[in-house]
């Protein structure tokens, strides 16, 4: 149970912060190759490397049978970054310009101006990220063999009576086609 709660809380916090910061960075006009990097993030929503390269990467980083495999692979979510970026672009640019004129740096503008303004969209991102983290069980199925790191959702899936029925019906439908 602690694994599910910890991964939900930590994953939501890290995802929210990364989405806010990257969404803010992609709105900065002076950023080097801003459009190219933004498009790179957006393309990853449509195309990914697949399960085997992702598993090999996590294995090479020694994250299999490690709690951090639950967190690291979901920190950067392109959809959330797009939402935050769009929200920041809809706020008045004069707020950031005024802070810049007063001598504020990028981090000061982010933490003192942008972050308080983006709390509505960050609340939305937090809700979606928390639900996604809480409902996830396939990462346990793929990366974890240590029973102490099993999530509650995986245990519910594993002991579910419909699991055997679904597997059997899948076998029948596969054999008949």
pLDDT for the residue 176: 43
SS3 66: coil
Nearest Cα residue to 81 out of 42, 53, 50, 116: 42
Mean pLDDT for the chain overall? 88
**Range with lowest mean pLDDT among 5-9, 27-31, 137-141, 163-167:** 163-167
pLDDT for the residue 174: 36
pTM of the model: 0.84
DSSP character string of 57-119: HHHHTT-TTSTTHHHHTTS--HHHHHHHHHHHHHS-HHHHHHHHHTT--HHHIIIIIIHHHTH
DSSP 26: T
Q: Which residue has the higher pLDDT, 162 or 53?
A: 53
- Assign 161 a pLDDT band (cuts: 50, 70, 90): confident
- Assign 49 a pLDDT band (cuts: 50, 70, 90): confident
- Assign 165 a pLDDT band (cuts: 50, 70, 90): low
> How many folded domains does the chain comprise?
1
Instruction: Judge whether residue 173 has pLDDT over 80.
Output: no
Q: What is the CATH number of the domain that holds 168?
A: 1.10.3720.10
Range(s) of the domain holding residue 158? 2-176
62-92: per-residue pLDDT in tens? 999 999 999 999 999 999 999 999 999 999 9
4-15: per-residue pLDDT in tens? 999 999 999 999
């Amino acid at each position: 149970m602690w694994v599910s709660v910890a991964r939900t809380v930590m994953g939501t916090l890290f995802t929210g912060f990364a989405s806010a910061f990257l969404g803010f960075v992609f709105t900065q006009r002076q950023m080097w190759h801003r459009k190219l990097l933004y498009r790179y993030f957006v393309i990853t929503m449509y195309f990914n490397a697949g399960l085997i390269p992702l598993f090999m990467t996590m294995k090479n980083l020694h994250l299999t049978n490690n709690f951090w495999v639950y967190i690291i692979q979901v920190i950067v979510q392109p959809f959330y970054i797009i939402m935050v970026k769009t929200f920041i672009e809809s706020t008045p640019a004069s707020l950031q310009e005024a802070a810049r004129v007063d001598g504020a740096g990028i981090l000061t503008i982010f933490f003192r101006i942008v972050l308080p303004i983006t709390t509505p969209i960050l609340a939305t991102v937090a809700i979606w990220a928390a639900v996604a983290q809480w409902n996830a069980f396939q990462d346990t199925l793929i990366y974890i063999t240590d029973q102490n790191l099993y999530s509650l959702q995986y245990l519910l899936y594993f002991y579910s009576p419909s699991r055997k029925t679904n597997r059997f019906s899948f076998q029948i439908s596969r054999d008949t086609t």
